[in-house]
Amino acid sequence: LNIYTQNAWIQADQERILQVLANLLSNAAKFSHPQTQVEIDLTAPIEGVFRISVRDFGEGIPSDFQSQIFSKFAQADNSSTRSKGGSGLGLVISKEIVEKHGGSLNFVSKRGEGSTFYFDLPALRRDTE
């Protein structure tokens, strides 16, 4: 457990950033195994940047699909009988929202071990500090 004890100020469209977080959390839950945890983490990987990470211990993302994950309508399982719902648009939109905020969205994943999706946003510069 990593507890970030300082305030992490950013300037953002609250609704849009919550939409990104909701998308990552819903994917994490959707692709998790039952009764496993999803972890959310806030860190500052470098000065002036805050990182929000959402980690799951699910099936992970097949390596041959990883390069397509930010393409429209892309889904690892695109069979008509697939068990998970969704449009394949969530990550495309999330990436765009984060980039409009001057940040970036990325992931690391290993088949069978799970995935971590994270996005970095510039810290709000406050001249009073």
Minimum CB distance to ligand ADP, residue 39 (Å): 12
Residues of span 2-21 touching ligand ADP by CB under 6 A:
none
> Can residue 120 be called a binding residue for ligand ADP (CB under 6 A)?
no
> Can residue 52 be called a binding residue for ligand ADP (CB under 6 A)?
no
Q: In what order do the strands lie in the sheet with 49-56?
A: 38-43, 49-56, 114-122, 104-110
Q: What single letter denotes the amino acid at residue 41?
A: D
Instruction: Name the residue with tokens 């970030």.
Output: 4
**What's the rounded Cα separation, in Å, for the pair 119 and 25?**
13
Among 10-18, 39-47, 80-88, 97-105, the segment contacting ligand ADP (CB under 6 A) = 80-88
> Can residue 105 be called a binding residue for ligand ADP (CB under 6 A)?
no
